[in-house]
Amino acid sequence: MIFFIKLNISICFLSGIFLGLLVSIASIKAETGFSGISFQGIDLRVASALGLKDFKGVLVRDLALGEAADNAGLNRGDLIVKYANHEIDTVKTLVEVATNFNPGDIVDIEVFRRGKKQKFKLKLGKRHPSWGVKDGKILAIAKTGLTFSGITPLIRERFSLRWGALGVVVTLADKEQSQSIPLKRGDIIVQINQKPVWKTDQIENAFKEARKEGRNSLLFLVERNGQFYFFLIPV
């Protein structure tokens, strides 16, 4: 049996502080060209550790696989010092500059990497719907003992999911109910039968289609503790 619970949740987006303001371009309005960068400001201590006299620039914390920054060759740890020919001193400056560009625009970016400055060109893309999940709908599949939720900002915070993690998270896995299911609480379902998933409706439909076609199992790609695994899940 499959049933849904609709949660009405009001979500506030808060900025965290850790060696500077912690934000990501993913939080900017959907119309803005998407670079796929999560970034963080620096202070005098960080600049000193890098051998810099001025504490200007923004550190790349993470990159979204297959998005503009990743495709252009940026790395985690790069210090962004210029974006579209604008000097970048703080996170605030980078956000203000980045919001002026649209999907398809090509922007020049300059970074400080291991003592040298390097230049790259980013072709900005569109933010995939999986980055903007706000629906608190929960899916419970009774026979499996599993409960799923889309990764809303609240769920991401509650389960301490990394910035770039996309998919549907397992919020409950009752092992007493089913010993044959290898999934655990906190696992992120990334794909089902090679198709990306980010909504609980997609999981429900995958099970329905499999039953209709007489298949006994589904192939799940799962992220667990930063590693990826394939599991066969019985239908």
Q: In this predicted model, what pLDDT tens digit does every residue of 170-205 receive, in sequence order?
A: 999 887 766 778 999 999 999 999 999 999 999 999
Residue 105: name the closest of 72, 154, 132, 135 by CA. Answer: 72
Residue 124: name the closest of 84, 92, 86 by CA. Answer: 84
- Name which residue leads in pLDDT, 159 or 8: 159
Residue 130: name the closest of 95, 96, 163, 170 by CA. Answer: 163
The position carrying tokens 């960068």 is: 37
What pLDDT score was predicted for residue 220? 97
- Name which residue leads in pLDDT, 70 or 135: 70
pLDDT tens, residue by residue, 113-149: 998 999 999 999 998 888 888 877 899 988 888 999 9
Ranges of each domain in the chain: 16-123, 130-234
Give the fold, CATH level 3, of 130-234: Pdz3 Domain (2.30.42)
- In 3-state terms, what secondary structure has residue 94? helix
Q: Would you say the CATH fold of 130-234 matches that of 16-123?
A: yes
Domain formed by 16-123, architecture: Roll (2.30)
- Name which residue leads in pLDDT, 55 or 72: 72
Alpha-carbon distance 198 to 71, whole Å? 22
For residue 148, what are its two tokens?
């799923």
pTM over 0.85: no
pLDDT tens, residue by residue, 44-56: 999 999 888 888 9
CB 127 within 8 A of CB 36: no
DSSP readout, 154-192?
A: HHHHHTT--TT--SEEEEEE-TTT-TT----TT-EEEEE
For residue 3, what are its two tokens?
């049933």
Residue 51: name the closest of 6, 5, 114 by CA. Answer: 114
Looking at every residue in the chain, the average pLDDT score rounds to: 85
How many Cα neighbours within 13 Å face the side chain of 205?
Answer: 10
